Amino acid sequence: MTSGARPGPPPRAGARPGAPASASPAPAPAAERPERASRCWPAYEGARIQLDPSINVDAIPGITAGEKIVAHALQTYGAYCKDTGGSRLAFGFEDPLGKSNPYPSLGFAWDYYGMPHVPWNHLRVVT
């Protein structure tokens, strides 16, 4: 998934936490709704997800600076599902080639760090 850059908050109409994928056609910008999406993850390719904006991310005990950045971005902008194969959920970050790696200082100890303090059970598919 990559961070959406659309200005303003994600639309809330039709947002349902944990809404399963249905057999209906996928909404734009999705080109298709793979059948396997309903079995492993309720989002389809092109779906927009959002972390519940009512959660006080800053008050989560033990949350790292990096987890806060990701959680606030998910609350404010959401993210788009770009693939439904492999891992359940992954975020990519720019690799600072030729510069020091900033991610360990933000609490990301290794690649594919699970960000355990982000309340993943409060993600929702926004239509």
| pLDDT at residue number 72 | 97
How far apart are alpha carbons 43 and 84 in whole angstroms?
A: 8
Residue 42 falls within a domain, yes or no? Answer: yes
Quick one: tokens of 2?
A: 């990559």
| pLDDT at residue number 54 | 96
Quick one: tokens of 32?
A: 């298709």
What is the CA 118 to chain-centroid distance, rounded? 10
Q: Residue 32 in contact with residue 110, Cβ under 8 Å?
A: no
Into how many domains does the chain fold? Answer: 1
Domain limits for position 53:
1-94+107-127
| pLDDT at residue number 70 | 94
| pLDDT at residue number 4 | 42
pTM, two decimals, is 0.65
pLDDT tens column, 6-65: 334 443 333 333 334 444 555 555 555 545 444 445 567 778 889 999 999 999 999 999
Quick one: tokens of 91?
A: 């975020």
Residue 74 falls within a domain, yes or no? Answer: yes
More confident residue, 77 or 113: 77
Average pLDDT over residues 116-125: 91
**Which range (26-30, 104-108, 109-113) has the least confidence?**
26-30
Residue 38 falls within a domain, yes or no? Answer: yes
